[in-house]
């Protein structure tokens, strides 16, 4: 069976899916938007354009919808689409809360339609490079993973500036960054979590967060995002007892693995005099003391998201983005906001 997609909301991501879904074997049938110019743009792309979601849902050619409207509308649209018998793919964040997600899932189950979320950053090569090290033991036992995203280009726009539309960076990127960690180490339980969430440049919605999670596999995860720190930081750092991996950039490919033969061995019992004063551990490493290795080559294709959805609808395989994993991310996001509000650590799983 072909997937014949109806796009609900023909803005940035609506257009993204119109362009990329066909490459993953999904036919784009129609789009709707409340803005007449967006409806015209859809028609110019050679797909049917509707002015309301009701019209799109009444189109019998459409068997699946993708929700690319602002975040506060995902629940309402998913429930309407399920009632109309359409399979539902929602953009992230799937919902504004766990309770909303549960309602959406219930509606889809009741209607017998498929339900998934576009967690496309599970295919990011930068994250998959760190996951590769975790899965293969490249760094020995990993104790620290840092996921950082800082940029001076992070001003939010339009509906992202307002709480009532599900704005703010936690709903925008927080959902990806937390999802990536849970996807990377799916079997690890979160023992505790502490978070700081701030409004630095934006009055109404969050634009900075730091989350520290202690996992029961011994890894402590640091996630940090800002829209005001003006210099990019390495996107990822993973530290193990047999090496350190740095992935410099979003997208991956830049960075290295660092190793030393002396790691964890006793240093000579002497103090080295440096420009920064006397030190044992933090004196400059002698030449050759630390060696660099290339990052592993990672293959990944985000179009797999669409191909997998088509396979599942045709009875082959399981969804790659399952709702319980989406639910877990929203549960963590709620804990993050609770910790930020109370200033206390949360004991989660
Ligand atoms: N997965 C990703 O990488 C990624 C990236 C960016 C955005 N997103 C998500 O995609 C969704 C859309 O974000 P965007 O950046 O495309 O927003 P956008 O503002 O560019 O587009 C939203 C569109 O929805 C339309 N719309 C609003 N109310 C509507 C209604 N009642 N019926 C029909 N159309 C309506 C708007 O007119 C607009 O054209 C959000 O949930 C966002 O979090 C995901």
pLDDT tens digits for range 32-68: 999 999 999 999 999 999 999 999 999 999 999 999 9
**Does residue 104 lie in a domain region?**
yes
- Whole-number pLDDT of residue 67: 98
Q: CB-hemisphere CA count at 13 Å for 146?
A: 17
Let me know whether 248 and 162 are in one domain: yes
Per residue in 147-199, pLDDT (tens digit) is 999 977 767 889 999 999 999 999 999 999 999 999 999 999 999 999 999 99
User: Strand ranges (DSSP E) for the chain?
Assistant: 4-8, 27-32, 48-50, 64-67, 87-91, 115-118, 142-150, 190-198, 208-215, 220-226, 236-240, 243-247, 255-259, 272-274, 277-279, 291-293, 346-347
The reply to whether 139 and 106 lie within a common domain is no
Mean pLDDT value across the chain: 95
User: Domain check: are 114 and 133 in the same one?
Assistant: no
133 and 114 together in one domain:
no
Which of 8, 12, 88, 149 to mutate to test ligand 1, by most ligand atoms within 8 A of the CB atom? Answer: 12
Q: Which domain holds residue 230?
A: 122-300+331-347
CATH assignment of the domain containing 278: 3.30.360.10
Radius of gyration (C-alpha) of the chain in whole angstroms: 23
Tell whether 311 is covered by a domain. no
Residue 167 sits in the same domain as residue 276: yes
Contact 95, 330 (CB under 8 A): yes
Mean pLDDT value across residues 86-93: 98
Q: Is residue 315 part of a domain?
A: no
Choose the final residue of a domain: 85, 101, 118.
118
> What's the Cα-to-Cα distance from 188 to each of 130, 142, 162, 184, 242, rounded to whole Å?
15, 13, 34, 9, 21
Pocket test for ligand 1, best of 50, 56, 68 (most atoms within 8 A of CB): 68
Ligand 1 binding residues, C-beta < 6 A: 8-14, 32-35, 38, 53, 68-71, 73, 91-92, 118, 120, 158-159, 172
> How many angstroms separate the CA atoms of 94 and 321, rounded?
11
Where is the domain boundary, 118, 136, 171? 118
> Is 66 a member of any domain?
yes
Atom 3 of ligand 1: nearest residue by CA position: 120
What is the Cα–Cα distance from 103 to 79, expressed in whole angstroms?
Answer: 8
pTM of model > 0.85: yes
d(Cα 219, Cα 195) in Å, to the nearest integer?
16
Q: How far is the CA of 183 from the centre of ligand 1 (A)?
A: 24
* Residue 263 pLDDT level (bands cut at 50, 70, 90): low
Cβ–Cβ contacts within 10 Å for residue 232, how many?
Answer: 15
Domain membership flag for residue 313 = no
Pair 93, 181 in one domain: no
**Counting atoms of ligand 1 from 1, which one is nearest the CA of 172?**
43
Q: Check: CB of residue 138 under 8 Å from CB of residue 214.
A: no
Distances (CA, A) of 319 to 131, 285, 309, 311: 20, 48, 7, 9
Judge if 137 and 286 occupy the same domain: yes
Among 126-130, 268-272, 309-313, the minimum mean pLDDT is found in 268-272
Give me the CATH number covering residue 66: 3.40.50.720
Strand order in the sheet with 48-50: 48-50, 27-32, 4-8, 64-67, 87-91, 115-118
The pLDDT value given to residue 289: 81
Tell me, yes or no, whether 335 and 246 share the same domain. Answer: yes
Q: Measure the CA–CA gap between 289 and 132, rounded to whole angstroms.
A: 25
Q: What integer is the mean pLDDT of 252-262?
A: 90
Taking CA atoms only, the protein residue closest to ligand 1 atom 12 is: 68
**Separation CA 32–CA 14 (nearest Å):** 9
Is residue 261 in some structural domain? yes
- Distance from the alpha carbon of residue 227 to the mean position of ligand 1, in angstroms: 20
Q: Mind giving me the DSSP string for 41-58?
A: HHHHTTSEEESSHHHHHT
Any bridge partners for residue 116, and if so which? Answer: 89
- Let me know whether 47 and 195 are in one domain: no
Q: pLDDT at residue 84 above 60?
A: yes
Strand 4-8 to 64-67 pairing: parallel
To test the pocket of ligand 1, the residue of 9, 31, 117, 120 to mutate (highest count of ligand atoms within 8 Å of its CB) is: 9
The answer to whether position 316 is within a domain reads: no
**105 and 191, same domain (yes or no):** no
Contact present, 78 and 72 (Cβ < 8 Å): no
Matching residue, tokens 């030190």: 279
Residue recorded with tokens 């592993």: 296
Last residue of a domain, one of 89, 118, 147: 118
* Per-residue pLDDT tens over the stretch 273-332: 888 888 877 777 777 788 999 999 999 999 999 999 999 999 999 999 999 999 999 999
Domain co-membership, 93 together with 173: no
Please check whether residue 307 lies inside any domain of the structure. no
Do 150 and 235 fall into the same domain? Answer: yes
User: How many separate domains does the chain show?
Assistant: 2
The set of residues, in sequence order, having a beta carbon less than 8 Å from that of 65 and lying 6+ positions away, is: 5, 6, 7, 8, 56, 57, 77, 81, 86, 87, 88, 89
Residue by residue, DSSP assigns 13-47 as HHHHHHHHGGGGT-EEEEEE-SSHHHHHHHHHTTS
């Amino acid at each position: 069976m072909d997937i014949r997609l109806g796009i609900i909301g023909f803005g940035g991501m609506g257009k993204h899916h119109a362009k990329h879904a066909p490459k993953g074997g999904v036919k784009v049938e129609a789009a709707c938007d409340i803005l007449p110019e967006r409806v015209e743009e859809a028609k110019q792309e050679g797909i049917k354009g509707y002015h309301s979601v009701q019209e799109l849902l009444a189109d019998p050619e459409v068997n699946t919808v993708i929700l690319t409207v602002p975040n506060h509308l995902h629940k309402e649209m998913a429930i309407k689409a399920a009632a109309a018998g359409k399979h539902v793919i929602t953009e992230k964040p799937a919902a504004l809360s766990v309770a909303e997600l549960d309602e959406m899932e219930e509606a889809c189950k009741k209607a017998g339609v498929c339900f998934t979320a576009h967690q496309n950053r599970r295919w990011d090569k930068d994250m998959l490079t760190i996951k590769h090290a975790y899965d293969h033991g490249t760094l020995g036992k990993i104790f620290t993973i840092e996921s950082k995203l800082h940029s001076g280009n992070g001003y939010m726009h339009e509906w992202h500036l307002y709480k009532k539309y599900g704005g703010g960076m936690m709903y925008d990127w927080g959902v990806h960054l937390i999802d990536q960690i849970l996807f990377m180490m799916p079997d690890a339980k979160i023992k505790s979590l502490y978070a700081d969430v701030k409004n630095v440049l934006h009055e109404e919605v969050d634009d900075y967060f730091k989350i520290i999670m202690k996992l029961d596999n011994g890894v402590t995860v640091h996630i940090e995002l800002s829209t005001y720190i003006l210099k990019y930081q390495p996107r990822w750092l993973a530290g193990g007892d047999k090496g350190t991996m740095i992935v410099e950039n979003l997208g991956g490919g830049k960075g290295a693995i660092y190793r030393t033969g002396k790691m964890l061995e006793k240093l000579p019992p002497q103090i080295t005099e440096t420009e920064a004063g006397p030190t044992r551990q933090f004196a400059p490493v002698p030449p050759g003391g630390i060696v660099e290795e290339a990052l592993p080559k990672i293959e990944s294709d985000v179009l797999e998201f669409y191909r997998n959805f088509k396979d599942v609808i045709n009875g082959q395989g399981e969804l790659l983005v399952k709702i319980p994993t989406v639910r877990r991310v929203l549960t963590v996001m709620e804990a993050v906001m609770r910790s930020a509000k109370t200033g206390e650590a949360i004991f989660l799983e």
